[in-house]
Amino acid sequence: MRLILLLVLFSFLSVYASGQSSFLKKLNSPPDSSYIASYKNDLVVRLYTSRKYMGQQLIDGSLNKKLNYLPSNNYLVGLV
């Protein structure tokens, strides 16, 4: 029974492997110029912003003191 199952499995795998050659040819075909444009001579600038909103609070129970940390500058700006 196992032998028959293995033969059937290998026959399906061989059919699948032979079908991959046509699939790989489609992957290596040149891109369609009506859908894909080249921007290799253009400068692309991205501006990222972020906001720091997380604060920390440390509490010392034995001394009955609190330490609050809040970010001094809430906004970050990045240029890539």
pLDDT tens-digit map of 3-51: 888 888 777 666 655 556 666 677 777 777 787 887 888 888 888 888 7
DSSP character string of 11-41:
HHHHHHHHHHHHHHHHHTSPPPTTT----TT
Question: DSSP 3-state assignment of 63?
Answer: coil
Q: Is residue 74 a contact partner of residue 53, using CB atoms and an 8 Å limit?
A: yes
pTM > 0.95: yes or no: no
- Per-residue model confidence (pLDDT) at position 66: 92
Return d(Cα 18, Cα 12) in angstroms, integer.
10
The confidence band for 59, taking pLDDT boundaries of 50, 70 and 90, is: very high
Return d(Cα 63, Cα 57) in angstroms, integer.
15
